């Protein structure tokens, strides 16, 4: 709690400073706060959390540091020093208020012989009354530890303390001597060497944004893989990457060789150093873990998480291809590309073709996903994405680029058909809640990366870099198990048993397989034609709910915000050109989506969707009011030109926590096995239609009636969606697919024990 006080004082001094001495005092006080921070916070997190929580949530300490660096770069570009300090003053204020309600560390309370207070603290932290066993163990540990001498001399003279201290110093030295501080300080120089259209002043935003995202992804890994393994991979990967960059600069500075065609190497190296070979961990740990982790009679979640990661990589390809037009159209409409310059009208078809292709391809993929399986469909989809990138890389005329967009649209249809179904069928409810969010996360990551890479590389190089993603996915999916649901539908019971053993990493899955087989048998006993999708009441009800969920997402204005981000940033002004606004917006959205992924499984889908719709409605209303006054009245709003930026940045978290994640996650949970493929086909068509409508509606309304009108329309839609979310969306958190189906039919919680004919249809 005391940490926040010097931080608050520091920001107040910065806001009120009129001379350099006040700034120095503010920085000094900030340093005092940092000292308190690094002394107390890691200790508090370590003492209050269980090992499994500490591995995942403990990383929020590092993530928050990098997120703060990212946010201050974004806000500082649009606001003066005083305004920036006043905005950031909110963070320590929130911390003071929130920390006041947090329990003290039970370790500390036991050290002070406050046993009853320690019990109350532990009950609050574990959210249960029965903590006697853990309290007894904790008391024993504390007594043993406090019985040891604890002077500074003992830190160096006692062998275990000395060993632990040397290890800790070594870990910190490994981090600092990896070059991370130097790369952070000299980011602008590195980006200048890489070239590109983005000024060096924006490199801090890109760097801190990527670093925040990578830290967030690493948080998922630390909880599932060991610290030792990740440190070894990270150190090795950084060494290899730094060596490659060193060779580049040696050739650049010490020889006369022409390396103008590979100026992207410093950028790629800088980003790869931050990635710390995380992709290598993801792709390589599968074989390592299979050899190192035996079946131990307990269910493990890491095989399911690995399958979710492998299948979700498709949205990384989809997101990057969707946003490919952002950095590419300015190049294609000039003489900067390998093609003849195209007109803006010709370029506009890049955004229109994929949704139309998705509408046409959706029926085909609904047959494939039911006929060939979910896993094979995802592999075929990866091949489509790969071909799309190859055509972009080697296409020499506009027609080939159009064909690549057709392939992208067809692959998108496969994505929204197969991936939600696959993830819904292979995962337990707890895994689905936490890891299922990667579908949305990778989509936003793709949009962010294509804007960053596309600004530094030509179209061909960018396409060749991104074609690696579907290749990785194709080979990863080849080792992933097929959905046990699908195998049971096809009467391949032995294969379903093998698949379930792999996904649970446990030989003892007999009872679960029997339950699954019963559920599948009941579901496939129902008719599953397109006619049944509309004629059977429960199917029709579920379809209408699913269409409503997808419409809620699209009519929130999210697609329009992405398509017209540059205009919004132009209205707000600031130091950055409109061409960089897409990177900044997608970067912030990506970071917020990542943070939301940590908390979404703690709450239900229904309350998050309701809150998200209401929050978006309020933000869009504020945006509408500003634009209405600016466009329709003579009132001077120049002093409030920060409102559009503030509204956009407020829109991001409230949209991300519900509308940005939940719709895609829920679509694979709602439908019966007999009708899933057909339902996803219809939903894909509806999604594409909504996408076209929103894009065209925004353009038409803003052109004919002013920019304020579409924001008013989207705000009204969000308010209507709030009621829809509250009254119509079913709660699926923590439920198996069979429980969801029974609840949709009107059964209660214990409906599994009730004969099927009792349930309402």
Instruction: Give tens-digit pLDDT for 237-259.
Output: 778 777 877 777 777 777 777 76
Considering only CA atoms, which of 666, 449, 457 is closest in space to residue 553? Answer: 666
Question: Half-sphere exposure of 68 toward its Cβ, with a 13 Å CA cutoff?
Answer: 14
Q: Is the pLDDT of residue 37 over 80?
A: no
**What would the pLDDT profile of 117-135 be if each residue is shown by its tens digit?**
888 888 888 777 888 888 8
From 103-107, 309-313, 488-492, 702-706, the region with the lowest mean pLDDT: 702-706
Q: What burial class does residue 507 get, using C-beta atoms within 10 Å of its C-beta: 0-12 exposed, 13-18 middle, 19+ buried? A: exposed
**What would the pLDDT profile of 558-575 be if each residue is shown by its tens digit?**
776 665 555 555 554 444
pLDDT at 751: 45
502 compared with 404, residue with greater pLDDT: 404
pLDDT at 376: 92
Residue range 649-658: average pLDDT? 81
**What would the pLDDT profile of 173-195 be if each residue is shown by its tens digit?**
887 787 766 665 555 566 565 55
**pTM, whole model, 2 decimals?**
0.59
Residue by residue, DSSP assigns 474-526 as: HHHHHTSPPPHHHHHHTT-HHHHHHHHHHHHT-S--HHHHHHHHHHHHHHHTS
DSSP single-letter state for residue 158: S
pLDDT at 404: 94
Dihedral in degrees, nearest 10, Cα atoms 482, 486, 487, 491: -170
Considering only CA atoms, which of 234, 250, 248, 223 is closest in space to residue 180? Answer: 234
C-beta atoms surrounding 168 within 10 Å: 10
Take residue 78 and report the two structure tokens written for it.
């649009």
- How many whole angstroms separate alpha carbon 342 and alpha carbon 357? 22
Residue range 414-437: average pLDDT? 78
- How many whole angstroms separate alpha carbon 272 and alpha carbon 244? 11
Largest CA distance in the chain: 83
- How many whole angstroms separate alpha carbon 467 and alpha carbon 669? 30
C-beta atoms surrounding 255 within 10 Å: 9
Mean residue pLDDT across the chain: 76
Residue range 86-101: average pLDDT? 78
Quick one: pLDDT band at residue 755, thresholds 50, 70, 90? Answer: very low
CA of 66: how far to CAs of 60, 72, 216, 590, in Å?
10, 10, 10, 13
Residue range 281-293: average pLDDT? 35
CA of 475: how far to CAs of 168, 379, 718, in Å?
38, 8, 41
Residues written for the chain: 761
Contacts of 255 (CB under 8 A, 6+ apart): none
- How many whole angstroms separate alpha carbon 479 and alpha carbon 691? 34
Percent over 70 (pLDDT), the chain = 74
Domain 526-730 has CATH 1.20.1250.20: yes
Q: Is the pLDDT of residue 291 over 50?
A: no
Take residue 294 and report the two structure tokens written for it.
């035996």
Contacts of 1 (CB under 8 A, 6+ apart): 95, 96, 99, 100
Q: Is the pLDDT of residue 760 over 70?
A: no
């Amino acid at each position: 709690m005391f940490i926040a006080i010097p931080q608050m004082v520091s920001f107040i001094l910065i806001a009120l400073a009129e001379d350099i001495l006040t700034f120095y005092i503010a920085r000094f006080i900030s340093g005092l706060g940092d000292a308190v921070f690094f002394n107390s916070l890691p200790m508090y997190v370590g003492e209050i959390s269980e090992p499994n929580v500490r591995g995942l949530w403990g990383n929020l300490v590092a993530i928050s540091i990098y997120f703060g660096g990212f946010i201050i770069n974004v806000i500082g570009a649009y606001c003066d020093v005083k305004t920036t300090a006043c905005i950031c003053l909110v963070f320590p204020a929130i911390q003071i208020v929130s920390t006041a309600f947090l329990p003290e560390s039970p370790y500390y309370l036991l050290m002070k012989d406050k046993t009853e207070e320690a019990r109350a603290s532990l009950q609050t932290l574990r959210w249960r009354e029965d903590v006697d066993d853990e309290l007894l163990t904790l008391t024993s540990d504390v007594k043993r530890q406090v019985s040891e001498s604890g002077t500074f001399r003992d830190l160096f003279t006692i062998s275990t303390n000395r060993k632990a201290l040397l290890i800790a110093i070594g870990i910190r030295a490994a981090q600092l001597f990896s070059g991370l501080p130097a790369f952070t300080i000299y980011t602008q120089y590195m980006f200048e060497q890489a070239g590109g259209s983005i000024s060096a002043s924006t490199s801090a935003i890109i760097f801190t944004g990527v670093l925040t995202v990578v830290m967030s992804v690493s948080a998922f890994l630390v909880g599932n893989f060991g610290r030792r393994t990740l440190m070894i991979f990270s150190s090795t990967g950084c060494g290899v990457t730094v060596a490659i960059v060193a060779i580049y600069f040696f050739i650049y500075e010490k020889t006369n060789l022409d390396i103008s065609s590979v100026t992207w190497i410093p950028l790629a190296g800088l980003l790869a150093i931050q990635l710390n070979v995380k992709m290598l961990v993801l792709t390589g740990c599968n074989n390592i873990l299979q050899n190192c982790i035996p079946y131990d009679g307990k269910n493990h979640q890491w095989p399911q998480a690995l399958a979710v990661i492998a299948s979700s990589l498709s949205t990384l390809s989809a997101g990057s291809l969707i946003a490919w037009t952002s950095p590419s159209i300015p190049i294609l409409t000039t003489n900067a590309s390998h093609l003849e310059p195209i007109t803006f009208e010709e370029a506009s078809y890049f955004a229109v073709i994929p949704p139309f292709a998705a509408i046409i391809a959706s029926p085909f993929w609904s047959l494939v996903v039911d006929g060939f399986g979910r896993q094979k469909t995802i592999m075929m989809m990866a091949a489509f994405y790969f071909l799309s990138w190859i055509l972009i890389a080697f296409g020499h005329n506009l027609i080939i680029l159009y064909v690549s967009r057709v392939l992208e649209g067809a692959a998108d249809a496969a994505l929204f058909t197969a991936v939600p179904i696959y993830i819904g069928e292979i995962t337990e409810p707890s895994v689905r809640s936490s890891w299922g969010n990667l579908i949305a996360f990778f989509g936003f990551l793709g949009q962010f990366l294509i804007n960053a890479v596309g600004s530094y590389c030509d179209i061909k190089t960018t396409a060749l870099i991104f074609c690696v993603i579907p290749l990785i996915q194709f080979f990863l999916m080849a080792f992933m198990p097929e959905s046990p649901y699908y195998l049971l539908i096809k009467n391949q019971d032995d294969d379903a048993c093998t698949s379930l053993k792999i996904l649970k990493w446990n030989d003892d899955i007999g009872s679960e397989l029997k339950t699954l087989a019963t559920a599948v048998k009941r579901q496939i006993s129902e008719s599953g034609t397109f006619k049944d999708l509309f004629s059977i009441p429960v199917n029709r009800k579920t379809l209408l709910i699913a269409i409503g969920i997808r419409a809620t997402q699209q009519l929130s204005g999210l697609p329009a915000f992405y398509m017209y981000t540059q205009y919004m940033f132009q209205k707000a002004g600031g130091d950055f050109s409109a061409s960089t606004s897409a990177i900044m917006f997608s970067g912030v959205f990506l970071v917020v989506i990542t943070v939301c992924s940590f908390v979404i499984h703690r709450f239900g889908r229904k309350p998050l969707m309701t809150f998200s719709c209401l929050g978006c409605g309020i933000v869009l209303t504020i945006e509408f009011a500003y634009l209405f006054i600016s466009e329709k009245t003579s009132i001077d709003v120049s002093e409030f030109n920060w409102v559009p930026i503030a509204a956009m940045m407020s829109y991001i978290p409230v949209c991300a926590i519900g509308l940005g994640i939940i719709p895609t996650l829920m679509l694979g949970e709602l439908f019966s096995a007999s009708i899933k493929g057909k339902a996803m086909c219809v939903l894909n068509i509806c999604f594409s239609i909504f996408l076209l409508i929103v894009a065209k509606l925004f353009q038409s309304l803003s052109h004919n009636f002013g920019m304020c009108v579409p924001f008013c329309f989207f705000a009204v839609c969000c308010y209507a969606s709030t009621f829809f979310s509250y009254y119509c969306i079913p709660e699926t958190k923590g439920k198996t697919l069979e429980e969801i189906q029974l609840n949709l039919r009107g059964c209660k919680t214990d409906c599994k024990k009730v004969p099927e004919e009792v349930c309402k249809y």
